[in-house]
Amino acid sequence: MPKPRRFKVLTDLNLNHGTPPRVQPVLGEWGPGVTMATRAKKRARWLWASAFVIVAAGLFIFGHWVYGLIMGAGS
């Protein structure tokens, strides 16, 4: 009986995963010579996600502050 596959939330960043080594291209043979390693791709993914959350929270806080100024100025 085959082993059930786990559901993955994120995609696999290793593009050569599952292919035999004899058919994997040498780095730079089919694509750019300087590509990020899988570990660097994971770090970049978390960095951009964290930056997005921080910027969104900052915009929310700024909007809340402006709303307070507007509503406080009327009374």
| Per-residue pLDDT reduced to its tens digit, 17-50 | 777 877 776 666 666 666 778 888 889 999 999 9
Neighbouring residues of 35: CB distance < 8 A, sequence distance ≥ 6: 27
Question: Region 43-67: what's the mean pLDDT?
Answer: 95
pLDDT score at 29? 62
pLDDT score at 59? 98
Give CA torsion, residues 60, 62, 64, 70, to 10 deg: -150
Could you identify the residue written with the tokens 């951009």?
A: 48
Domain coordinates of the chain in residue numbers? Answer: 21-73
Distance of alpha carbon 9 from alpha carbon 7, whole angstroms: 7
Looking at every residue in the chain, the average pLDDT score rounds to 80
pTM listed for this prediction: 0.55
